[in-house]
Structure 1
């Protein structure tokens, strides 16, 4: 029997997804045991709840009607949208004429790296995009998801209204608008469902976990991985049983999504199991004159039982069958656990590890663990060890990931002494890779010291052919991280060299022009509106 009204005629305030969930609860418990009423579907007759036989018939009738409506793809009608004239008053001041002109240049593709920071700074200063640039901004950011939250924060009331009118622009509001409706969980895209789950995790983590556990067995592996990754929002020990279940999934993508989450759980059982495997393999021996590490590889070959402990048969980060197993064990364990167990600081452990034949394996395993567990003390120790001079063949390390565990100030304090000890710029200097990982804004002493090293190097024409690539890479980085207020610090020593360094003329000019443009962006924040 069909409802009297077609799905598109059903009351707009009615949401079938919530009724479907309630209907499932009644059906699972039984019509006589469930305290819930059978949901009422618009257009279907209702029966008295006191009549057991009629209640069961009503359940079946409602199930058929709801199934048909859901298969038809019914979506609740949205609430009527306000017109621009009915919108609340703007709370942000629009950019002035100069600011609008500069933003227009950014949206035209000039200095594209500066747009994210400028949008963030606009929001921090309670400024918004001028109305005449709203369409251009929405067109620019709609295909760049990383910019969606930044743009949404500076659209103002009119811009938000405008974005809601166009299907291509509505995603811009997704991260700042109201939480997705429950119907999204049933009918939305994968991205919408993930966002719904993340929003629900913030308000009712238990319900989110139950809904996720119910649907995961029916989802393809790619969807499973994306949905499970949402558990990172508010990750807690209560998530452990669900995550542990998928440690042995048939899909490697799912397993690799779950492994770091389980390892980072408070009092993780996985970490305890991994420790039981790893601790006997690395022994500390102390003598009166030295501290040594004795390393053994796992005696057993890999089998499927290793999956439950987060260890794959092969891992591209490590070489060798049994070495791969030990490397993965190290990569899952919080590195500070070793320091606490041996009662040694990280620097002493690293020096002992470097003296073993398995130094590269130990260093890379601990580096991966440092990144996973955000261990800033170990990150500083690893980068300090890597940067020490002289060292002919240091082990390769994931420098970018380690640097992200430290603040700009910590990295600056690490690099400045290296600059002083080896001031001559060149592609081989140990401080250059670390310098290019220091995010902005740079401090004045760092800017001044680097500019001086560049000036001295560029004043030696016979060396330009050897250093021009490394120098151009550094100048590109400086254009992003040197504060605009340091323009004179850079321009005064470097501008006279523009005509003398043909290899680097473009890179030098781009640095100075970018700093000048950024200074104009800063000034525009204080300009009166048009």
Structure 2
């Protein structure tokens, strides 16, 4: 290591030196008795006029630069590696660098996560001059850790390792292998490490978890057990079962959904034996009918061994809560196979019972839990084709997440075509707002047509202001960048004629244009140097 770097490592303490310099500045260089901090290599000659004042300004500039660079003295007394490993990926080009800096400065914050992911997918890294800004921005945003860690490059990884405040990003990396974060980190860092390890070595991760759980505070047990959902397998059953009857309800509710998702789960079979006699299908000459009964016995601790709590806010009444929890845990396909009926037919039969709200809510919850795409599609299509009255509130967002955007498009387009008039109570809007990115072009084109017609009626704008704002904000997130022209050509001429919606419409067009620039920057040649 060069001598000036060794001297810097051994003599400089940026935090304490900066505080001392601040005290000198507040009192004045002539009034303060404190000695100025010394930065090796940046000391003026003794015969310099106004030496103390000039030295203070020079030291302030140097310390400020060091602080911005994220310098931290070595905690162990050993000097850090002086040079990072050579870069193996190209950096962003000059335009991409400017766009990334705008994101880090707070413009279009919702676009930063997806851009970092796109960077990694295209084998590009963050330019060196933006590393500190990215590390500092992502430091307190755990949702960004994994995406940021993937695009740091060799110098970014080296730099993050020098600052304890940034090391948590490295634990989120797929390449993180050191167990120091697991042994000494915060609960969030330890959970992140365990998730990454589950993806690489699920057995080793489970063994680490099993060894420490008995000594962990209850508030940590649930968070650590939740990491088992990564690479979940039947080998996890003994550990999960051990905590099914834990004293903490949070812990019990963490392991319960994992256990019932295991193939051939013994718990699921016990739940089925409890539930099957309570919901029966009766057939006669007039058709089929569902007969629903509540459990005959009250709740006791034997229910808890099967993961059933005494009360559940989703269902009113103690015995109704028992039945509702049973149905919400059993894979819904068990009912279609048991009765040899389609999900849609079962839903129609459920409406004919006095327990329709319980059945619909429980089966929708089970569909989300077991990620049953057939039931999710049937539930959404059935739900949005029904009259609004007398229907319970279902977890439609969770159901929609199980289907790709193209399939949701197939569900919502017929509803739009049947009622192409936009208003605040339009039936298809809630489902449309659940269609994720990327929207297919056919959906964007149809929605733009409906919007253009609605926005072309100035006298009606105040009636649709809130609903239209919701839709425009959602479109800014989910319409692909390459569909910018599809939106801009018909909608941009309306900007001056929509006073109630000008900001929302302008934000949609500006966001799509910015996303288009981001997409182009991924293929830009790297900047020189």
TM range, smaller chain: 0.7 to 0.9
Deviation string 1:303-345 (CA, Å, 9 cap, x unpaired) is 2221111111111222222111111001100000000000111
User: Corresponding residue for 1:442?
Assistant: 439
Matched, 1:432 2:429: yes
CA contact (8 A) 2:94 2:526 kept: yes
Query: Among residues 91, 95, 100, which one is paired with 1:94 in the alignment?
Result: 91
Secondary structure of 2:236's aligned partner:
helix
Q: Does the aligned pair in 1 maintain the 2:198–2:230 contact within 8 Å?
A: yes
- Indicate whether 1:461 and 2:458 are aligned: yes
- The 10-residue stretch of structure 1 (241-250 or 179-188) with the greater mean CA deviation from structure 2: 179-188
Q: Determine helix, strand or coil for the equivalent of 2:281.
A: strand
Task: Please say if residues 483 and 515 of structure 1, whose CA atoms lie closer than 8 Å, have aligned partners that are also in contact.
Answer: yes
2:306 is the counterpart of 1:309? yes
Q: How does 1:204-215 map to 2 (within 5 A)?
A: 205-206=202-203, 208-215=205-212
Within 2, Cα distance between the matches of 1:429 and 1:78? Answer: 67
The answer for the alignment partner of 1:82 in structure 2 is 81
Task: Give the counterpart of 2:109 among 109, 112, 120.
Answer: 112
SS at match of 2:464: helix
CA contact (8 A) 1:180 1:195 kept: no
CA distance in 1: counterparts of 2:462 and 2:281, whole angstroms: 49
Does 334-343 or 311-320 show the bigger shift? Answer: 311-320
Show the counterpart of 1:242: 239
Deviation at 1:300, TM superposition (A): 1.5
**How far is the alpha carbon of 1:121 from its aligned partner?**
1.2
What's the counterpart of residue 217 of structure 2?
220
Please state if 1:529 is matched with 2:516: no
Alignment of 1:92-241 (within 5 A): 92-176=89-173, 178-182=175-179, 186-198=183-195, 201=198, 205-206=202-203, 208-241=205-238
Taking structure 1 as the reference length, the TM-score comes to 0.81
Q: Counterpart in 2 of 1:354?
A: 351
- Find the aligned partners of 1:97 and 1:337 in 2 and give their Cα distance: 57
Does the 8 A contact of 1:244 with 1:308 survive in 2?
no
Q: Does the 8 Å contact 2:299/2:310 carry over to 1?
A: yes
Q: Is 1:504 the equivalent of 2:501?
A: yes
Change (3 A) 1:406 1:453: same
Residues 1:451 and 1:182: Cα distance change in structure 2 (over 3 Å): closer
RMSD: 2.1
Deviation of 1:426 after TM superposition, in Å, equals 1.4
| Offset from partner CA, 1:199-247 (integer Å, 9 cap, x none) | 5545665554444334333322112212222222332223222222211
Q: Residues 78 and 384 (structure 1 numbering): CA distance in 2 closer, same or farther, change over 3 Å?
A: farther
d(CA) in 1 for partners of 2:158, 2:430: 46
Quote the residue 1:451 is aligned against: 448
Once the two structures are TM-superposed, the CA of residue 99 in structure 1 deviates from its matched residue by 1.1
Q: What is the rounded CA distance, in whole Å, between the counterparts of 1:178 and 1:126 in structure 2?
A: 15
Distance across 1 between alignment mates of 2:157 and 2:95: 23
TM-score, with length taken from structure 2: 0.81
Contact map agreement 1:371 1:405 (CA 8 A) in 2: yes
In 2: Cα distance, 1:363 partner to 1:466 partner: 33
Corresponding residue of 1:384: 381
Which 10-residue stretch deviates more, 444-453 or 184-193? 184-193
Do structure 1's residue 320 and structure 2's residue 320 form an aligned pair? no
Describe how 1:287-436 pairs up with structure 2 within 5 A.
287-436=284-433
Structure 2 residues without counterparts, runs of 5 or longer:
1-74
- Measured after TM superposition, the shift of residue 284 of structure 1 is 0.4
Whether the 8 Å CA contact 2:173–2:196 is kept in 1: the answer is no
1:102 and 1:172 map into 2 onto residues whose CA distance is 22
Classify 1:499/1:192 alpha carbon distance in 2 versus 1 (closer, same or farther; 3 Å): closer
Deviation for aligned residue 1:463:
2.1
Go from structure 1 to structure 2 and tell me whether the alpha carbon gap of 1:479 and 1:208 turns closer, same or farther (over 3 Å shift). Answer: closer
Q: Distance in 2 between matches of 1:209 and 1:88?
A: 33
With over 3 angstroms needed to count, the CA separation of the structure-2 counterparts of 1:384 and 1:79, relative to structure 1, is farther
Distance 1:210 1:125, change over 3 A: closer
Indicate how the Cα distance of structure 1 residues 205 and 447 shifts in structure 2: closer, same or farther if over 3 A, else same. closer
